[in-house]
A and B are shown apart, each in its own frame.
Chain A
Amino acid sequence: MKVKDIMDTTPNLARTTDTFEHLVRMLDEVKYRVVFVVDAEDNLVGIVTETDIVKALIPKYLTFDEFLISAINEHYLENKCIESRNLASTQIMTKTLLSVHEDDTLMKAAALMAVNKIHTLPVVKDGKVVGIVHLMNLVRHIMKILRKD
């Protein structure tokens, strides 16, 4: 079986110019809680999940020294949300390191997810996003195999 046999062909796409606020609204509505970021030529450049949204609000110095987590003031999150409203998606997204081609095997997609501990992969063709494969799609496929057997 190939990736294209199980992928969802309606991935949610955002532009590099889209803002933090726009991404938060999108993520609240989309099926897999993941948005792919594409540039002006529709090439895939990044991925935004709920974790990326939270990370954008956390000051980087807390990752240098976890002791300071309890020193952050109680209104920090609210203030940072307002400040970050117009951040560009390129400042929030994780740059895409992993993707699969629509003709790749399901085993490759499954292995990439398991090894890298991720639940979503963009499916690309000629650099453009043509679909999304989620752990959920894979599990459904596994169920089908078991039923047939």
Chain B
Amino acid sequence: MIFWIATGIFIVSFGLIITERLDKTKVALAGGGLMMALNIVTQHEAFYDRKYAIDYNVIFLLFGMMVIVNILSKTGVFQFLAIKSAKLARGRPVWILVLFTGITTVFSSFLNNVTTVLILIPVSLLIADELKIDPFPFLLSEIMASSLGGTATLIGGPPNILIASKVQLTFMDFIYHLTPAVLFVFSFFLLTIKLLFGKKFRVKEEVRQKILAINEYEMIKSYSLLIRSLGVLGLVIPGFIFSSRIHLEPATIAILGAAILLIISKENLQNVLRELEWSTLFYFIGLFIVVAGVVKVGLISMLSDYMISFTKPDAENMFVTSMIILWFSAIASTVMENTILIASVIPLVTDMAQTLLPSGLDLKLIIQHSTLMPVWWSLALGTCLGGNATPIGASANIVTLGLAEKAGYPISFKKYLIYGIPLTIEMIILSTVYIWLRYYVLKFYL
């Protein structure tokens, strides 16, 4: 009975979240609350248990990075870099497009994807307005580049933070395995974007001069805040890189960095706190409890058994499993919120690994087993990049299209799909090639 109640809560929550009938945070908190109220997961388990508890590493890493990025974004440094790159391109639209796609990828590798597009989209609209060109190529490539960047590092976005925490991976694991994948996909993506849109832009020399006339230094609102923020970032990023050597979890580093920046920046605490995405943090809290409920009642083990009998994975070679996870997560992400997908798939793969790999191994050794690692990287690539295909596949897409419409450049669902689907398929094929070549042909695990 308890199995069916937990499964029911999970399915209803899942359905409401992916259909967006109700705000996802409300649904996750209600689902989590019900799991506890019905004693499927006790409050003690939800708060303190090693196996079922809310993953505070994820919550505090997100919180710490939100604070750091919030303060850093008040300096105007991101706008400065965007304008600087437009000037470096000498106002030539195609090169601005290439550089903006590049800086979106870089920004997004340490900012969340929505924050990245909130910075880049207005600058792109300004550039397009000044040059009197269609902003669509910019908006499309920035949406896609934001998800690419978000895939590159541990702190790029919630999917990677979730994987890192559950699989106990370090910042450098992501740099060694996913950053090359992103660079590989990015280079082909850039080429495609240039081929698709390169010839569309025709801008006269005197119009280009308008871009060169912008004084990018006026974007910087406070040099002292910028120095302090970059100083803290200069401690936090190496902190992430060397986290395993200094034996500190990423959340500890982010919290410490946020606290130091709050103190030395002298920013008003209430103002900073007011601007944080609390709904995201509470969404994760609820989501963790909902998923813990179905793990505890055995639904995930059951699904994992089905998956084993369906894919027949081999403990020595999980190529088929990697491919199924990559393509399944990519297709599912086109229409659904990717974090609920990832939060459900992680325990499923973990359970499958426990069944397949030699018993008696420590959980960490099982989930970090070399044959399983390509599966995790496939999951990250699939969930992060799949969302590019449709206008509703990821929050960054929804935000960008909303801004474009408000600014007077509406992009229809159909127009987005015409470009979004083929470009996403290209990215997933390239990810397939990367996974296959690196882990199953070259066997380069590192």
Contact present for B218 and A64 (CB under 8 Å):
no
A10 within 8 A of B: no
Contact present for A64 and B121 (CB under 8 Å):
yes
**Distance of A19 from chain B, by nearest CB (Å):** 18
B125 within 8 A of A: yes
Contact present for B221 and A67 (CB under 8 Å):
yes
**Distance of B418 from chain A, by nearest CB (Å):** 24
Contact residues, A48-99 vs B (CB, 8 A): 59-62, 64-65, 67-68, 70-73
Contact present for B406 and A60 (CB under 8 Å):
yes
**Distance of A7 from chain B, by nearest CB (Å):** 36
Contact residues, B62-81 vs A (CB, 8 A): 76, 79
**A-side contacts of B119, CB under 8 Å:** 65
CB-contact partner of A59 in B121, B125, B210, B216, under 8 A: B125
**Distance of B104 from chain A, by nearest CB (Å):** 15
Contact residues, B188-220 vs A (CB, 8 A): 210, 213-216, 218-219
**A28 vs B79: C-alpha distance in the bound complex, in angstroms?**
38
Contact present for B221 and A61 (CB under 8 Å):
no
B123 within 8 A of A: yes
**A-side contacts of B83, CB under 8 Å:** 71
Q: Which secondary structure dominates chain A's binding surface?
A: helix
Q: Which residue of B lies closest to A71 (CB)?
A: B214
Indicate whether A60 sits within 8 Å of B118 (C-beta atoms), given known contacts A67-B221, A68-B126, A71-B214.
no
**A-side contacts of B406, CB under 8 Å:** 60, 64
**Distance of A145 from chain B, by nearest CB (Å):** 42
**A73 vs B210: C-alpha distance in the bound complex, in angstroms?**
7
Indicate whether A68 sits within 8 Å of B123 (C-beta atoms), given known contacts A59-B129, A61-B129.
yes
**Distance of B217 from chain A, by nearest CB (Å):** 10
**A-side contacts of B221, CB under 8 Å:** 67
**A60 vs B221: C-alpha distance in the bound complex, in angstroms?**
21
**Distance of B121 from chain A, by nearest CB (Å):** 7
- Total number of B residues with any Cβ neighbor in A under 8 Å: 24
Indicate whether A68 sits within 8 Å of B130 (C-beta atoms), given known contacts A60-B406, A61-B122, A73-B214.
no
**A62 vs B210: C-alpha distance in the bound complex, in angstroms?**
17
**A61 vs B405: C-alpha distance in the bound complex, in angstroms?**
11
Contact present for B122 and A64 (CB under 8 Å):
yes
Contact present for B126 and A71 (CB under 8 Å):
yes
B442 within 8 A of A: no
Interface flags for A20-62 (1: CB within 8 Å of B; 0: not) read 0000000000000000000000000000000000000001111
**B-side contacts of A67, CB under 8 Å:** 76, 79, 219, 221
- Total number of A residues with any Cβ neighbor in B under 8 Å: 12
Contact present for A59 and B123 (CB under 8 Å):
no
**A64 vs B83: C-alpha distance in the bound complex, in angstroms?**
16
Q: Which of B121, B126, B215: most chain A CB closer than 10 A?
A: B126
Contact present for B76 and A72 (CB under 8 Å):
no
Q: Which residue of A lies closest to B120 (CB)?
A: A65
Contact present for A70 and B408 (CB under 8 Å):
no
**A-side contacts of B210, CB under 8 Å:** 73
Contact residues, B266-295 vs A (CB, 8 A): none
Contact present for A70 and B126 (CB under 8 Å):
no
**A-side contacts of B130, CB under 8 Å:** 73
**A14 vs B218: C-alpha distance in the bound complex, in angstroms?**
41
**A73 vs B209: C-alpha distance in the bound complex, in angstroms?**
10
Contact present for A68 and B215 (CB under 8 Å):
no
Contact present for B121 and A70 (CB under 8 Å):
no
B407 within 8 A of A: yes
**A-side contacts of B218, CB under 8 Å:** 70-71
Contact present for A60 and B407 (CB under 8 Å):
yes
B324 within 8 A of A: no
CB-contact partner of B407 in A64, A72, A73, under 8 A: A64
Contact present for A60 and B408 (CB under 8 Å):
yes
**A26 vs B361: C-alpha distance in the bound complex, in angstroms?**
82
**A60 vs B409: C-alpha distance in the bound complex, in angstroms?**
10
Indicate whether A68 sits within 8 Å of B79 (C-beta atoms), given known contacts A59-B407, A60-B406, A60-B408.
yes
**A70 vs B220: C-alpha distance in the bound complex, in angstroms?**
10
Interface flags for B382-405 (1: CB within 8 Å of A; 0: not) read 000000000000000000000100
**Distance of A75 from chain B, by nearest CB (Å):** 9
Q: Give 6 closest A-B pairs by Cβ, nearest first.
A: A65-B122, A61-B125, A70-B218, A60-B407, A61-B122, A67-B79
Which B residues contact A (CB, under 8 angstroms)? 76, 79, 83, 118-119, 121-123, 125-126, 129-130, 210, 213-216, 218-219, 221, 403, 406-408
Given contacts A59-B129, A60-B408, A65-B119, 6 further A-B contacts (CB under 8 A): A59-B126, A61-B126, A61-B403, A64-B121, A71-B83, A73-B213
